[in-house]
Amino acid sequence: MKSGLSFLIAALRSEIDELDQLSRTSALVGTIGRLVHALQRERGISNVLLASGGQRFAAERSAQIAECAGLEQAVRECFDALEADPRRLGNSARLFSRIAWVVPGLDALPALRQRIGALQMPASEATNAFVKVIAGLLAVVFEAADGATDPEISRLLVAMFNFMQGKELAGQERACGAAAFASGRNESVRQQQWLHLIESQERCFQVFSEFSGPELEAQWLAHLPPAQTAELERLRRIACAAPAGVALDPELSPVWFDCCTRRIDAMQTVEERLAADLRQLCTVKIGHARGELANHETLLAQMAHQPAAASSAFFDQPDAPPVAPATSGAPAYGRQLERSILDLVQDQAQRLQAMGDELDTVRASLNERKLVERAKGLLMAHRRLSEAEAHKMLRQTAMNQNRRLIDVAESVLSMAEYLPVDGKP
Amino acid sequence: MKSGLSFLIAALRSEIDELDQLSRTSALVGTIGRLVHALQRERGISNVLLASGGQRFAAERSAQIAECAGLEQAVRECFDALEADPRRLGNSARLFSRIAWVVPGLDALPALRQRIGALQMPASEATNAFVKVIAGLLAVVFEAADGATDPEISRLLVAMFNFMQGKELAGQERACGAAAFASGRNESVRQQQWLHLIESQERCFQVFSEFSGPELEAQWLAHLPPAQTAELERLRRIACAAPAGVALDPELSPVWFDCCTRRIDAMQTVEERLAADLRQLCTVKIGHARGELANHETLLAQMAHQPAAASSAFFDQPDAPPVAPATSGAPAYGRQLERSILDLVQDQAQRLQAMGDELDTVRASLNERKLVERAKGLLMAHRRLSEAEAHKMLRQTAMNQNRRLIDVAESVLSMAEYLPVDGKP
């Protein structure tokens, strides 16, 4: 029969296990970030190659494909290591399911590249293929963030996911704008899509700022020189604020592309820093938990050499107050042993509760995203809308009704059964 | 390098692992239920023994203590088995922390019984000691329900927890009423406490009905013969509706006690049925998941003997629609293999998402409880209120402002920092 202290230790071991797993998922997220960055570059290069009829960027493309292959290998190794580990995170099933979804996408890259190299597909189709693989990789990151059980790590993972997502939207905006300028004229559909990409991006960076902490946010702002931002906004205005049908200067296409590329490359350095912070945080947390475990194990060994105490302290102990903050500091070994174990148990319970509460707060931002995505999906399926149209519809409703986007999304979901299917009544 | 199908299988294995763990936690919950029932009886018997100055129930008490000891042993074995298993549920840390809290309470029972046997404590103190141990056991059940990752199992665990909690409140009401009638007069404080016990009980049974499904609810209603309910309500009215200070007939004390006991024993049979349903559900689910796993593994073996297909199917596949219901039925092995794997991946992703959504719904009821408990705890700590007073204050505010209890609780929590500490401004 095991003592209360044994279960205290079991709880701590569970925490350490979870932190170990989180540390590995965090490393995976960093690796995915690098692959995504490389694929974003390959997407841009492939576009130029296709648009120029094979005249430009052929050599750059070969080098970029080689870089992607190396990073893809690293990501796959992380996936395989995760699969081989018998320990599982709480949401392993969903994480593996996301991985199962994206791996065939990675498998399909060589065939895609062959068709691009042979100039056998339009640039837009190539773009969509890369967008799809990258979305699959980001879905893995989302699940990693959603599965984190430590609030501080979860916070950084949420920041990371939103930053990566914002960066991907910036990449899509680069492609969208380059095509718009190159085409020489404004189109209303493309303008809508473009504005949607800007808006979604800003939402992502807002959430990033909210969760990354002041230091990382400052670094992010430092990477955005005002002159560069001004240039970006000027080009955006030229293309988006003009009425549809107005001519655009095709010479601005490379100017736009370079301006966006500088911005995206700057994002990559912030992302690397975020990934490093994440690894560092995991290491510190694991070290701290292991230290606590060693203390508890010493205590357990002490107990084994003591006669069983008359155990009435339990009933003298006040009920664990559900909200009070955890008391910190080293456990009081000098006091009566049994009593101090009850204190430890109470401290741990309060700490776990405080962690659970904070985790709920952090996850709320992910839930918001899930709800909005589901409402969009519902509108796309039931009203045959594109993703951008569905988003616009939700946003418009929110503005008209002066409600938050998430509230409108909830209303849409709660009315799901009243919506017609595929145009049928 | 592993294929998408390998990760599909890994996701399924994770699900099976979780179901295995849930199956064991469910067994633990059933065992805890029996121990709680026995402790509730021991509490009642001990009360009578102390109130009668050792004249009544001495023999019954010895038998009851023996029964408790056997059931306690069974619960401890479940705890130990959980600790010895290297596989962990998502919320293992919190579950172990709850166990660590209650084990010293079980350790302290022999000393408590000794004092009761020597008539060295008042009945109210003995009652409180049992209440505390039982609350600790129920907290373990709560954590088990909160950690369940399968929505159907989670649903039954939530029903189970609420039923057990309601039954415990019924037990406390029995003690409260017996003492009130025995004292021969009405007291306003006791009336308040009594009404609080009735109200909280009813809330628990409401949640139980919501989550248990029609069959169990019908069984529960069948166990409440109208004549018995009428008798219970008549006695409640006599004691609670009369103005404070009015005399009560002490002869009604045993009548009340027997009436409550019949009700509580009936609850126990419903609880046993719930526990059996829970075990059955786990078995069915595990069997189903294992069958699916076998199918997938056959498919994986088939793939190993096939040449690698030209893998462009990924890009032809529509994006996984975020909301559409999972398509059911056997996987189409006759179709092109690669394509069917993508379908499987998509089906699984949708199924996991639907499960996640449903789980959120089920957990909402637990979150509600957590919020109300935390708000009560805050009021107790900051305004030096008893639990019943804190509950009454919340309820009164909700009635006055025509808001839901949970909304008032949220407001209280969001104002935490404005509240004075221990009477200090």
Tens digits of per-residue pLDDT, B3-54? 888 898 999 998 898 898 889 889 999 999 999 999 999 998 998 899 888 8
- In A, minimum Cα distance to B130 occurs at A315
Q: Which two tokens stand for residue B217?
A: 């609810």
User: How far is B332 from chain A, CA to nearest CA, in Å?
Assistant: 18
- Which of A286, A302, A319 finishes a domain? A286
Mean pLDDT of B115-128: 92
Contact state of A108 with B4 under an 8 Å Cβ cutoff:
no
- The answer on A339 and A278 residing in a single domain is no
Nearest to B80 among A2, A312, A352 (CB): A2
CA separation for the pair A167, A173 (Å, rounded): 10
Other Cβ atoms within 10 Å of A225 Cβ, number: 12
A127 in a structural domain:
yes
Half-sphere exposure at residue B408, Cβ-oriented, CA atoms within 13 angstroms: 20
DSSP E strand stretches across B367-421: none
Q: In the predicted model, is pLDDT for residue A65 greater than 80?
A: yes
Residues of B in contact with A107 (CB under 8 A): 3-4, 311, 314
Cβ(A343)–Cβ(A380) below 8 Å: no
Task: Give the tens place of pLDDT for each residue, A371-424.
Answer: 888 888 888 877 778 777 888 888 888 888 777 888 888 888 777 666 655 544
- The answer on A276 and A193 residing in a single domain is yes
Where residue B107 falls among pLDDT bands split at 50, 70, 90?
A: very high
How many domains does chain A fold into? 2
- The answer on A280 and A341 residing in a single domain is no
The predicted structure's pLDDT at residue B337: 61
Cβ(A4)–Cβ(B100) below 8 Å: yes
Mean pLDDT of B137-160: 90
The predicted structure's pLDDT at residue A425: 41
Contact state of B94 with A352 under an 8 Å Cβ cutoff:
yes
User: How far is A239 from chain B, CA to nearest CA, in Å?
Assistant: 29
- The answer on A233 and A372 residing in a single domain is no
B48 in a structural domain:
yes
Q: Which structural domain, as residue segments, surrounds residue A13?
A: 4-286
Half-sphere exposure at residue A308, Cβ-oriented, CA atoms within 13 angstroms: 11
Contact state of B76 with A2 under an 8 Å Cβ cutoff:
yes
Cβ(A79)–Cβ(A99) below 8 Å: yes
- In B, minimum Cα distance to A376 occurs at B322
Q: What is the DSSP letter of B224?
A: S
Cβ(B93)–Cβ(A352) below 8 Å: yes
Q: Does B8 touch chain A (CB under 8 A)?
A: yes
The predicted structure's pLDDT at residue A243: 82
Q: Does A361 touch chain B (CB under 8 A)?
A: no
CA separation for the pair B248, A296 (Å, rounded): 54
Where residue B180 falls among pLDDT bands split at 50, 70, 90?
A: confident
Residue B180: what residue type? A
Q: In the predicted model, is pLDDT for residue B308 greater than 80?
A: no
Contact state of B1 with A80 under an 8 Å Cβ cutoff:
yes
Nearest to A10 among B12, B96, B313 (CB): B96
Q: In the predicted model, is pLDDT for residue A323 greater than 50?
A: no
B347 in a structural domain:
no
DSSP code string of A27-83: HHHHHHHHHHHHHHHHHHHHHHHHHTTT-SSHHHHHHHHHHHHHHHHHHHHHHHHHH
The predicted structure's pLDDT at residue B418: 64
Residues of A in contact with B83 (CB under 8 A): 2, 6-7, 10
User: How far is B239 from chain A, CA to nearest CA, in Å?
Assistant: 30
- In A, minimum Cα distance to B85 occurs at A10
Q: Does A309 touch chain B (CB under 8 A)?
A: no
| Choice among B25-34, B333-342, B397-406 with the minimum mean pLDDT | B333-342
B303 in a structural domain:
no
Q: Residue-wise over B25-39: b if at least 16 C-beta within 10 A, else e?
A: bbbbbbbbbbbbbbb
Q: B220-229: long-range contacts at Cβ-Cβ below 8 A with a sequence spacing of 24 or more? A: B220/B270, B223/B266, B223/B267, B223/B269, B223/B270, B224/B263, B224/B266, B228/B259, B228/B262, B228/B263
Q: Which two tokens stand for residue A297?
A: 């194990």
A296 in a structural domain:
no
Task: Give the tens place of pLDDT for each residue, A165-213.
Answer: 999 999 999 988 988 888 888 888 888 889 889 988 998 998 899 888 8
Contact state of B107 with A6 under an 8 Å Cβ cutoff:
no
A269 in a structural domain:
yes
Q: Which two tokens stand for residue A393?
A: 């519809």
Q: Which of these, B236, B164, B229, B233, lies nearest to B194 by C-alpha position?
A: B236
Cβ(A167)–Cβ(A135) below 8 Å: no
CA separation for the pair B160, B167 (Å, rounded): 10
Residues of B in contact with A299 (CB under 8 A): none
- The answer on A267 and A120 residing in a single domain is yes
Q: Does A328 touch chain B (CB under 8 A)?
A: no
Where residue B325 falls among pLDDT bands split at 50, 70, 90?
A: very low
Length of chain A: 425
Contact state of B377 with A310 under an 8 Å Cβ cutoff:
no
User: How far is A351 from chain B, CA to nearest CA, in Å?
Assistant: 10
DSSP code string of A15-27: HHHHHHHHHHHHH
Cβ(A247)–Cβ(A185) below 8 Å: yes
**3-state class (DSSP) for residue A374:** helix
Q: With left for phi above 0 and alpha for psi between -120 and 50, is residue B217 left, alpha or beta?
A: alpha
Where residue B421 falls among pLDDT bands split at 50, 70, 90?
A: low
- Which of A258, A286, A314 finishes a domain? A286
Contact state of B314 with A108 under an 8 Å Cβ cutoff:
yes
Contact state of B80 with A107 under an 8 Å Cβ cutoff:
no
In chain A the first and final C-alpha atoms are separated, in Å, by 64
- In A, minimum Cα distance to B14 occurs at A93
User: How far is A261 from chain B, CA to nearest CA, in Å?
Assistant: 26
Q: In the predicted model, is pLDDT for residue B119 greater than 90?
A: yes
- In A, minimum Cα distance to B131 occurs at A315
User: To the nearest whole percent, how much of chain A has pLDDT over 70?
Assistant: 89
Q: Does A352 touch chain B (CB under 8 A)?
A: yes
The predicted structure's pLDDT at residue A88: 73
Cβ(B390)–Cβ(B398) below 8 Å: no
CATH number reported for the structural domain that contains residue A421 in this entry = 1.10.10.10
- The answer on A357 and A263 residing in a single domain is no
CA separation for the pair A223, A164 (Å, rounded): 16
The predicted structure's pLDDT at residue B330: 34
Mean pLDDT of B283-287: 94
DSSP code string of A365-383: HHHHHHHHHHHHHHHHHHH
Q: In the predicted model, is pLDDT for residue B425 greater than 60?
A: no
Mean pLDDT of A113-141: 93
Q: Which two tokens stand for residue A84?
A: 């081989």
Angle at B179 between CA B173 and CA A322, to 5 degrees: 45
Where residue B263 falls among pLDDT bands split at 50, 70, 90?
A: very high
Contact state of B83 with A380 under an 8 Å Cβ cutoff:
no
| Choice among A67-81, B123-137, B382-396 with the minimum mean pLDDT | B382-396
Where residue B372 falls among pLDDT bands split at 50, 70, 90?
A: confident
89-108 in chain B: CB under 8 A from chain A: 89-101, 103-105, 107-108
The predicted structure's pLDDT at residue A115: 95
| Residue B150 or residue A68, greater confidence | A68
254-273 in chain A: CB under 8 A from chain B: none
User: How far is B244 from chain A, CA to nearest CA, in Å?
Assistant: 30
Residues of B in contact with A93 (CB under 8 A): 11-12, 14-15, 18, 149, 352
- In the beta sheet, which residues pair with residue A10? none
Q: pTM here? A: 0.82
Q: Does A300 touch chain B (CB under 8 A)?
A: no
- The answer on A152 and A222 residing in a single domain is yes
Half-sphere exposure at residue B416, Cβ-oriented, CA atoms within 13 angstroms: 15
CA separation for the pair B174, A223 (Å, rounded): 68
Contact state of B7 with A320 under an 8 Å Cβ cutoff:
no
* Cα–Cα separations (whole angstroms), residue A133 to A146, B155, B334: 20, 36, 27
A304 in a structural domain:
no
Torsion angle, CA of A285/A286/A288/A291, rounded to 10 degrees? 170
Q: Does B153 touch chain A (CB under 8 A)?
A: no
Where residue A308 falls among pLDDT bands split at 50, 70, 90?
A: low
Interface A–B counts its CB contacts (< 8 A) at 242
Q: Where are the alpha helices (DSSP H) in A85-122?
A: 92-107, 109-117
* Cα–Cα separations (whole angstroms), residue B71 to B36, B74, B358, B366: 9, 5, 34, 27
- The answer on A340 and A279 residing in a single domain is no
A305 in a structural domain:
no
Substitution target in B25, B82, B96 with the highest count of A β-carbons within 10 Å is B96
